[in-house]
Structure 1
Amino acid sequence: MAPERGEIGQLIRDLEIFNPTFLPIKKKSILQILRNIVVKKKFDLVHSHGISSGLFMGLYCYLFKIPHIVTIHETLTKEMFKGLKGILKYIVLSILLPLVDVIHYVSEDTKKNVFSVIPILKKYFQKNVVIQNGIDVKKLLSAQPKVFSKSIIIPENAFLIGYLGRFMPEKGFKYLINAIDIIVKDKKPNKQPIVLAFGWGAYIREYQLMINKKGLDKNFIFLPFSSEVASIIKGFDVVTVPSLRESFGLVAAETLVAGVPLIASNCIGLREVIKNSPAIKIHPKNSYMLAMALIKEMRFPSKNKSKKYSKTAAERFDVTIKSKLLEKQMIKLL
């Protein structure tokens, strides 16, 4: 069960050998789907992704004694629990999350973050497990770089800056816009910085308006989600991840494995991924620092250093290793 989005199609194709059944979720159909599940189906195990889906399935699994794993992909802030609605949300989380059999965090940072906001979970230490996200390293290592000039108009002296992900405030995209503004107007770069932005999100219109007001239309190209992530990453001169907070930082891990230069903020979650790597580290919300890092990469490319680290990154983030660790947790519950 999941909302219908572009990446879901790719996930279903990846799981084809298991003949999966996909139930698309719409707000109006959630309760109807849950009712049908309760009446018609009996699962051996439920794996929920995200706190919301974990709560959605939590009581059902508890009442029907179905083993339940929740993977937490998000970080929490105390501001989320302010006001009457926030207090009620906090109470529900504090009651229902401890009912889950295994709470899987995708980083140590995520676990510490959730503990700091919902401290009651510390009492259930045996239920809390940290297994970092894994990626298909073979695909990233073997992929050929995408030649963007074959499908879109790219200036000859372009310096291609990659951004992949949602257009949400916590992803820090506006700081990338400001950084490009600094480079173009103040620093007179030797190449034309072009941001190729792949993704979706509610704030895309606001960001496009911000770009337009700053006169940076020639420096940003927005492109839809694509399943060719490995080739896309390898087609960039550098990838930026200017997030304010992350649970893990999947794009950063993929970039390190691909052997492509990476500029990333040392925020919660992301700092765990880029630790001891050749990634250029910047402070969150610091457009000037990001601009200086991009200029440095333009003038003194770090591609060789990034390529040398690729093998180490592949060993760190190999999904075959991570999935076996998660599989062990599932087998314990069956």
Structure 2
Amino acid sequence: MFPRWSEDSTPPFVQNQCELMAREGWEVTVLAPHSSGAAFRETVAGVQVRRYPYAFPFALEKLCYEGGMLINLQARPWTKLLLPLMYIAQLLALLLICLRAKPDLLHSHSLLPQGLSACWVARLLGIPHVTTSHGNDVFGLKQTGGMGRLKRSVIRDADAITVNSSATQAAVVALGAAAEKVHLIPAVANVGVVQTEIVERIGAKYGQGPKVLFVGRFIEEKGVLDLLRAFSKMNEQVEDLQCLFVGDGVLREEMETLARDLKIESSVHFVGWRPGEEIASWMAAADVLVVPSWREAQGLVVVEAMSVATPVIASRVGGLPDLVIDRETGRLFEAEDVSSLADLLVNAFINRSESECMAQAAQARVEAYYSPDAVARQTEDLYQRFLKH
């Protein structure tokens, strides 16, 4: 979950948190799996990054990145053979780096496999260990059998567990975590600066009419096909309406085909991935961000939209209701309910003043609870608890 290079499509929320802590004066070293073309050692914004190889030739390192381990395991079943190699390489690399650097604290991201490796090394060397569940490890992996036992062992042995939403918190507690060990600290979104020239360029290319925006991976659980179907239902009701898809993924061709079948291809635009520093400008150029996910642990794109006061319509799943309080900071609909989504989109353009008021309230909520400064304070407070002992 740590980007391999600049402008990588890997979400940078772990990198954002590491850079935040480095700015606060912490000495941060990141250990991440290697990928063909990535540097083995580098320093990024004051963060030392070390990447361990787990397959040779390096072109075989296809288990991580490009959508994440779970997606890669489904798309490339042969990568299951790399799991034991990766875990052994990770464990040995972590042990070696801890013996050399003697860190004051270990922070693992995801219960498996990182949390398991960190538990072993933390116990062996007597280092405090904080682990973070970003949601995929509890929602995307089996809770029973060997996988469930491993997750519960990490939860039991870690000194503290951080989660990114109330939904993830409930799932971790259901796995057996003691409530006092679980801390809700949101992941760090790309709260960027709006660049006027980019907003103007978007307007020049896609017109000055109203715009619906989606940002993320084109996979089934993100609800991208539902958005296309909803857009087709309300497209004729709003003049010059455009739908922009920023991102990419395995459903790209299916989405293009569906847009043609629905006869909305002239109003639907597939933009591709954009650099992280541009996303705030795309949000600002849009009239509404839609997050139609079937499953979403937190929903960082919601934070990004709210930070620039762009109205949000999202499905009522996972951690999204933490951010989108219906009729207060945005609008919610039941996942996969295409008709309700279409109605909410129409209403967003008819009642613009209502949408703008909710967007202003959302911006204030983000500043108070989800801004980089707010997350840095919470993370540092947690770290300091263990350094005092």
| TM-score tier (shorter) | 0.7 to 0.9
Distance verdict in 2 for CA 1:129–1:313, change over 3 Å: closer
Distance verdict in 2 for CA 1:8–1:176, change over 3 Å: closer
Distance verdict in 2 for CA 1:59–1:148, change over 3 Å: farther
User: Which residue number corresponds to residue 164 of structure 1?
Assistant: 215
Distance verdict in 2 for CA 1:144–1:254, change over 3 Å: same
* The one of 251, 259, 276 aligned to 1:211: 259
* The one of 125, 131, 150 aligned to 1:92: 150
Residue 127 (structure 1) aligned with residue 155 (structure 2): no
Q: Distance in 1 between matches of 2:10 and 2:52?
A: 10
**Aligned 1:29-108 pairs, distance under 5 A:** 30=86, 31-42=88-99, 43-52=103-112, 53-74=114-135, 80-81=141-142, 87-108=145-166
Query: Which moved further from structure 2: 144-153 or 216-225?
Result: 144-153
Question: Normalising to structure 1: TM-score of the pair?
Answer: 0.82
Distance verdict in 2 for CA 1:114–1:161, change over 3 Å: same
Does the 8 Å CA contact 1:136/1:318 hold for their aligned counterparts?
no
Q: How many residues align?
A: 321
Alignment gaps of 5+ in structure 2 = 23-43, 54-60, 64-81
Which secondary structure state, in structure 2, belongs to the residue aligned with residue 60 of structure 1? helix
Residue 272 (structure 1) aligned with residue 322 (structure 2): yes
User: Which residue number corresponds to residue 311 of structure 1?
Assistant: 364
For 2:179, the aligned partner's letter is F
User: Which residue number corresponds to residue 254 of structure 1?
Assistant: 304
Q: Distance in 2 between matches of 1:170 and 1:59?
A: 33
User: Which residue number corresponds to residue 21 of structure 1?
Assistant: 49
Q: Distance in 2 between matches of 1:270 and 1:320?
A: 21
For 1:38, the aligned partner's letter is L
Query: Which moved further from structure 2: 22-31 or 211-220?
Result: 22-31
Structure 1 position 79, deviation (Å): 8.3
User: Which residue number corresponds to residue 4 of structure 1?
Assistant: 4
Q: Distance in 1 between matches of 2:107 and 2:97?
A: 18
Distance verdict in 2 for CA 1:304–1:275, change over 3 Å: closer
Q: Distance in 2 between matches of 1:74 and 1:262?
A: 22
Say which structure, 1 or 2, has more relative contact order (CA 8 Å, 6+ apart).
1
* The one of 143, 146, 168 aligned to 2:198: 146
**Aligned 1:228-247 pairs, distance under 5 A:** 228-247=278-297
Question: Normalising to structure 2: TM-score of the pair?
Answer: 0.71
For 1:105, the aligned partner's letter is V
User: Which residue number corresponds to residue 31 of structure 2?
Assistant: none
Does the 8 Å CA contact 2:330/2:359 hold for their aligned counterparts?
no
User: Which residue number corresponds to residue 273 of structure 2?
Assistant: 224
Distance verdict in 2 for CA 1:197–1:24, change over 3 Å: farther
For 1:47, the aligned partner's letter is H
Give a deviation string over 1:19-71, Cα, whole Å, max 9, x none. 42242764457333542332354333222222333234332333333222111
Q: Distance in 2 between matches of 1:79 and 1:198?
A: 24
Structure 1 position 111, deviation (Å): 0.8
Which secondary structure state, in structure 1, belongs to the residue aligned with residue 332 of structure 2? strand
Q: Distance in 2 between matches of 1:283 and 1:39?
A: 48
Does the 8 Å CA contact 1:199/1:224 hold for their aligned counterparts?
yes
Q: Distance in 1 between matches of 2:11 and 2:183?
A: 29
For 2:291, the aligned partner's letter is V
For 1:220, the aligned partner's letter is H
Alignment gaps of 5+ in structure 1 = none
Q: Distance in 1 between matches of 2:108 and 2:333?
A: 33
Give a deviation string over 1:228-248, Cα, whole Å, max 9, x none. 222221111111111223222
Distance verdict in 2 for CA 1:62–1:210, change over 3 Å: farther
Query: Which moved further from structure 2: 262-271 or 200-209?
Result: 200-209
For 2:108, the aligned partner's letter is S
For 1:259, the aligned partner's letter is A
Q: Distance in 1 between matches of 2:157 and 2:332?
A: 39
Q: Distance in 1 between matches of 2:223 and 2:261?
A: 18
Query: Which moved further from structure 2: 231-240 or 202-211?
Result: 202-211
Q: Distance in 2 between matches of 1:145 and 1:266?
A: 35
Structure 1 position 77, deviation (Å): 6.9
Distance verdict in 2 for CA 1:238–1:54, change over 3 Å: same
**Aligned 1:169-180 pairs, distance under 5 A:** 169-180=220-231
Structure 1 position 3, deviation (Å): 5.9
User: Which residue number corresponds to residue 378 of structure 2?
Assistant: 325
